[in-house]
Amino acid sequence: MSFDPGVIRAQFPALSIEDRGRPRYYFDNPAGTQVSQRVVDAMSHCLVNTNANLGGPFETSMRADQVVADARVAMADFLNAPEADEIIFGQNMTTLTLHLSRSIGRLFKPGDEIVLTRMDHDANVHPWLLMARDFDLTVRWLPFNLETFEFDLADLDNLLSERTRLVCVGGASNLLGTLNDVAEISRRSRASGAWTFVDAVQSAPHVASDVQEIGCDFLVCSAYKFFGPHQGILWGRREILEQLEPYKVRPAPDELPWCFETGTQSHEGIAGVEAAVEYFAWVGEIMATDWGEPHPGFSGRRKNVRAGIDCLFDYERGLSKRLLSGLATFPHLKVHGITATDALDRRVPTVSFTHGKLASETIAKLLAKQNIFVWSGHNYAVEAARALGIYDSGGAVRVGPVHYNSMAEIEHFLDALDGIL
Ligand SMILES: Cc1ncc(COP(=O)(O)O)c(C=O)c1O
C-alpha cells in the first residue's frame, strides 16, 4: 500500500470529533499534535495494568520497569541511538534542557564561549543564557539571513574558536519552518572542539532525528509534537553524560540513565512514547515499502521508523506546496519563511505569516470561530520574532499542517482565510 491519507486519518480518533456540527481543522500541530489510538491504548493499558513505581519485587512494579525499558529501546530506535541507556525521559524539552544545562555548565570555565542562534525557540536559548550568567561564559550569536530564512554557515565559522565549548541549534524553527543542516553544523562545531546540543522538537515530527547521522552530542525532543503524549526525551552521548554531575537526590540511582531522571516519571507518558514510535514503524511497514531502500544499514524497527518518516514527509511537502501557493495569492500577506517550491525539503510545513491590515491575533480568532485551529504570536521564538520585527506587533499567524491533514483541509483553510481577509 502506498501512502493513504484515509487509512492514516482513521488512526487518530480526535480527527473525527465535531463541535456544534463543525469538524475540527487541526493546524495547531507545531504546538502539539493529536495521538493515534495505539497511543491512547498504551497509556490506558499502563494505568490499568502496570500502575506502580519502579524497582519493586512485585508484579505491577516489574511490569512498570518493563514498560520504561521497552520505551527506552523504542526511543533509541527512533533516534538511531547507539545505546538505550543514553535515552533520558523527563517532563518536557524545556525542563530537560534547564536540568542538564546546570550539569553541563559545571564543566566550563569563565571565559569559555557558547553559540546560540537568533532562530531558536527560547527553550534552546534562555537555559543557556542562564548557564552563561551563572558560570561567566561568553555568548556568541548566530544570526539567520532575513531574506533566505536560513543560517549562513560562514557566520558559524566566524563564531567558532578554540574557546567554543557548546553550540545550541534547532532542527527546525517553530516560527519560520526552516529545517537546519544540523549535521553540517555539528560537523563544523566538532571540528573546532565544541559539543552540539540539538533541539529536535520541531524537526522530529517531520524528518529523521538520527543522532549518529547528525553527529551531535545531545538531542532533545518532545513526544507530544510527534503524535505521542506530553513527554520529553533527551539523548546524550554516553561518554559526555558520564562526565556530567547529575543534580539528583541521594537515594536515586547513580547510574545512567536514571541518575538524570528526577523523581517519579510519567510511566503512562513513557508507555505512550513507545506507541508513538510504533506508529511511525507501522507507517513504514505498511505504506513505505520502497522508502526503506535508501537506508541499507537499517533493519527491523529502525528501518521501518525511518521509512515511515520519509514517506510522511514526502506527502507533507505536497501540503506545504499548496499552502504556500495559496497564501501567495493574498494581497498584503507576507510569509516569514522559505516559499520557493523547489526548496520544500529545506522547510517543514509550519508556515507563519503576517497581514498588512489585520492583526495576527484577529485572524487566529476569526479562524477559531470556524473551528480552524491556528496559533498567533511569537510562539516563544523570541529572538526570531525580534529579528523579523514582529515581536512587539503581535507576532505572526502560524499554520502547521502535518501528515494527517488532508489537501481538502488546506483548501478549506485557504477559503476561510479568503473570506476573512
Ligand atoms: C522548537 C521548540 N523547542 C522547544 C520547545 C519546548 O518544548 P516543551 O514544551 O517540550 O518544553 C518547543 C515548544 O513548542 C519548540 O517548538
What pLDDT score does 288 carry? 83
Q: Does the CB atom of residue 267 touch ligand 1 within 6 A?
A: no
Q: Does the CB atom of residue 94 touch ligand 1 within 6 A?
A: yes
Identify the band that residue 291 occupies on the pLDDT scale cut at 50, 70 and 90: low
What pLDDT score does 381 carry? 98
Instruction: Find the helix or strand (DSSP H, E) in which 297 lies.
Output: none
Give percent above pLDDT 70 in the chain. Answer: 99
Going from N- to C-terminal start, the domains of the chain cover 5-35+314-420, 41-276
CATH 3.40.640.10 fits 41-276, yes or no: yes
* Alpha carbon of 123 to ligand 1 centroid (Å): 6
Closest to 27 (Cα-Cα) out of 374, 350, 407: 374
Regarding pTM above 0.85, the answer is yes
Q: Does the CB atom of residue 174 touch ligand 1 within 6 A?
A: yes
By mean pLDDT, which of 35-39, 206-210, 290-294 is the weakest?
Answer: 290-294
**In the predicted model, is pLDDT for residue 289 greater than 90?**
no
**In the predicted model, is pLDDT for residue 66 greater than 80?**
yes
Phi, psi of 379 (to 5 degrees): 55, 35
Closest to 405 (Cα-Cα) out of 330, 351, 361: 351
- Kindly report the protein residue whose alpha carbon is nearest to atom 16 of ligand 1: 174
- Kindly report the protein residue whose alpha carbon is nearest to atom 8 of ligand 1: 93
CB-CB contact of 373 with 17 (8 Å):
no
Kindly report the average pLDDT of the chain as a whole number: 97
- The set of cell numbers assigned to 7 is 487509512
CATH 3.90.1150.10 fits 5-35+314-420, yes or no: yes
Average pLDDT over residues 312-316: 96
* Alpha carbon of 400 to ligand 1 centroid (Å): 14
**In the predicted model, is pLDDT for residue 378 greater than 70?**
yes
What pLDDT score does 290 carry? 66
What pLDDT score does 136 carry? 98
Q: Does the CB atom of residue 123 touch ligand 1 within 6 A?
A: yes
- pLDDT, tens only, 166-188: 999 999 999 999 999 999 999 99
- pLDDT, tens only, 9-30: 999 999 999 999 999 999 999 9
Provide the CA 218 distance to its chain's centre, in angstroms. 14
**In the predicted model, is pLDDT for residue 237 greater than 60?**
yes
- The set of cell numbers assigned to 234 is 533527551
∠ CA 265-54-71, rounded to 5°? 60
What pLDDT score does 293 carry? 66
Average pLDDT over residues 72-91: 98
Average pLDDT over residues 116-142: 98
State the Cα–Cα distance between residues 397 and 74, nearest whole angstrom. 35
State the Cα–Cα distance between residues 84 and 80, nearest whole angstrom. 10
**In the predicted model, is pLDDT for residue 376 greater than 90?**
yes
Helix, strand, coil percentages (3-state) for the chain, rounded to 5, are: 45, 15, 40
Mutate to test the pocket of ligand 1, among 96, 118, 201 (most ligand atoms within 8 A of CB): 201
**In the predicted model, is pLDDT for residue 1 greater than 80?**
no
Q: Does the CB atom of residue 231 touch ligand 1 within 6 A?
A: no
Average pLDDT over residues 3-11: 96
What pLDDT score does 292 carry? 54
Domains 5-35+314-420 and 41-276 alike in fold: no
Average pLDDT over residues 404-420: 98
